[in-house]
Amino acid sequence: MELIRAVIVDDEKPARTRLQSLCRETKLDVVGVGRDGMEAVKLIRSQSPDLLFLDVEMPGLNGFGVLRELGSGSIPLTIFVTAHHKYAIPAFEAHAADYLLKPYSDQRFEAAVQQARRTLELSAKTLPPLAPEVEEPRRDAMNDRGGYLERIVLKENGRIIFVNVADVDWIEAAGVYVHLHFAGKTHLYRSSVVHMLDRLDPAQFVRLHRSSVVNTARIRELYPRTHGDYTVVLHDGTELMMSRAYRNGLEAWLRQPL
């Protein structure tokens, strides 16, 4: 793929300087460097980078606040860079590509970049070159055509293939992309979970968690966990967690309380 365009955001100058140096060594094109959360938002919106190196604790708007400010449709592939262990779980819940804990080695940085490169290359190979209005139609445009999304267009091994939405088992959030799970395979697709839900029949697809949506026809059973959460078991044995925050959606589909 083309040279990866990166933005660096950290409130400490030595950290920014080191990241810039390492980016040069790994052949990344640094298109912006920010010192705080608000600078990060402006840089990302103006530069549309492929990759974001983002500190967590910054004055004003922290790293997670940056992602919330951007919204799900505008977040680049993100590697959090921080000196604190405690943000690891929230970072991966935010679908971070990696989590670099300061002080990190040059080798650890390179491994994170290589993983990000593979993810970006995969998305370039598997996503069809569709116009934005085709990839993410507005809700009103969809309704004008008279229904919910029935087929998804994917690019695989140089071919354009069509997947029936009814064949998708479940959908997993991956930042500005989603992973579509069906027929024992996983395919990357350019869409956020929020935009996918806008296009899917709510009688067939229900959100279980901030990072997962399930085809209700694939649910085999569910059993309670702690604190109101449930484990949802699919027909092939896949187990997904349903957060109590999204239990109402499943209860609406069942037409009865859990």
CB 137 within 8 A of CB 198: no
Instruction: Give 116-158 pLDDT, tens digit per residue.
Output: 888 887 765 544 433 333 333 333 334 444 468 888 888 766 6
Going 53 to 57 to 60 to 63, the CA torsion angle's sign is: positive
CB 171 within 8 A of CB 178: yes
Instruction: Give 207-219 pLDDT, tens digit per residue.
Output: 998 889 999 999 9
Which residues are paired to 182 by β-bridges? 185
Model pLDDT, residue 158: 67
Instruction: Give 10-55 pLDDT, tens digit per residue.
Output: 999 999 999 999 999 999 999 999 999 999 999 998 898 999 999 9
Q: Which of 46, 54, 49 is nearest to 5 (CA)?
A: 49
Q: Where are the domains of the chain?
A: 5-126, 132-254
Q: How far does CA 66 lie from the centroid of its chain?
A: 15
Architecture of the CATH domain 132-254: Beta Barrel (2.40)
What homologous superfamily is domain 5-126 in, according to CATH? Answer: Response regulator (3.40.50.2300)
